[in-house]
Amino acid sequence: MIALLALPAAFAAARPRGADGRFEKRESSHFVLHQDVDIDESGGLRGSRRFEQQVLQELEVAYERLDAFLGLRPSRRIAVFIYDGEVFDARLGGRFRFQIAGFFNGAIHIRGATQLTVELGRVLHHELVHAAFHAAAPSLVLPAWLNEGVAEWFEARALSKRHLSAGELAYLSRALSSGAWLGLGTLSQPNFARLPAGGARLAYLQSYGMVEHLVRVYGERALRELCRDVVRGRDLERSLLRSVHRGVRELEADFQAEFS
């Protein structure tokens, strides 16, 4: 695997491609894809070239949805790295206290995919939202409830899931009645990376719920206005008041009241 790097180039080239720490690069209109996944064949239906094309197609579709739903159109190409699962865990896994499928830190990093599954499509949509906010306002630190909530909403919306599922509603209901419900202080951190696994699940779900509530009550257009306005004006409270006539405390209270 990574040890192949130490071998003479000619020998390494004769080995199956697989995950070897060297990234194959391929570009589309808005993305640069680097992949080092465990696919031995380059050609054919299950080959790495086909996989790269499918991932880039999915990303370009997601890019158009970004504009349609969130009013965001990053002008620079976005870098996307797809790693072999073991390589990802060894290099990057220690950053989080819970298992993740991807993250964004100026580029999109995806763990261990070799086929364009529904799950990979979701992760690509999710991380693209973080990339788009970053591209539109690089120095703006959004509260995680908005950044993660919009990313969760966007990945669900791409699959035509518009609302919380019965299971998600029940989970939130239990969180409120048991006193586990997270306050705005926790939800407004820049990210949820330091939360323990259970807390992180609840944080993502409350964030998604707040955004779903906003869209359900005020419409998809309000979310689009909010996203465009916040990256321009860099004042979330003002953008919220403008787009839905509620401040963040009122919005959170309205959402919480649905469970009490």
Nearest to Zn ion of 192, 255 (CB atom)? 192
Nearest to Zn ion of 142, 151 (CB atom)? 151
Sign (positive or negative) of CA dihedral 139, 145, 148, 149: negative
Q: Binding segment for Zn ion among 151-159, 163-171, 172-180, 239-247 (CB under 5 A)?
A: 151-159
33 contacts Zn ion (rule: CB under 5 A): no
Q: Position 69: which residue type?
A: F
Residue nearest to Zn ion (CB): 151
CB of 205 to Zn ion, least distance (A): 13
Nearest to Zn ion of 31, 133 (CB atom)? 133
- Residue 257's DSSP bridge partners are none
Nearest to Zn ion of 39, 151 (CB atom)? 151
CB of 126 to Zn ion, least distance (A): 6
CB of 172 to Zn ion, least distance (A): 19
With beta carbons less than 8 A apart as the criterion, state whether 238 and 193 touch: no
Closest CA to 126 of 211, 248, 51: 211
CA distances from 142 to 50, 194, 227, 236, 254 (A): 36, 16, 11, 8, 21
Write the interaction track for Zn ion spanning residues 96-135; mark x where CB under 5 A is met and - where it is not.
Answer: ----------------------------------------
Size of the site for Zn ion (CB under 5 A): 2
Nearest to Zn ion of 151, 172 (CB atom)? 151
12 phi and psi angles, rounded to 5 deg: -60, -40
151 contacts Zn ion (rule: CB under 5 A): yes
Cβ-based neighbours of 171, under 8 Å, separated by 6 or more: 202, 205
Nearest to Zn ion of 108, 236 (CB atom)? 108
CB of 127 to Zn ion, least distance (A): 7
Distance CA 202, CA 150 (A): 15
CB of 190 to Zn ion, least distance (A): 11
203 contacts Zn ion (rule: CB under 5 A): no
CB of 256 to Zn ion, least distance (A): 22
Nearest to Zn ion of 48, 207 (CB atom)? 207
Nearest to Zn ion of 53, 188 (CB atom)? 188
CB of 227 to Zn ion, least distance (A): 15
Q: What is the largest CA-CA distance in the chain?
A: 66
Distance CA 200, CA 104 (A): 17
Binders of Zn ion among residues 131 to 150 (CB under 5 A) are: 148
Q: Position 237: which residue type?
A: E
The torsion region of residue 117 among left (phi > 0), alpha (psi -120 to 50) and beta comes to: beta
CB of 101 to Zn ion, least distance (A): 10
Closest CA to 56 of 72, 34, 85: 34
Q: Is 239 helix (H, G, I), strand (E, B) or coil?
A: helix
Residues at the contact surface with Zn ion, assessed by CB under 5 A: 148, 151
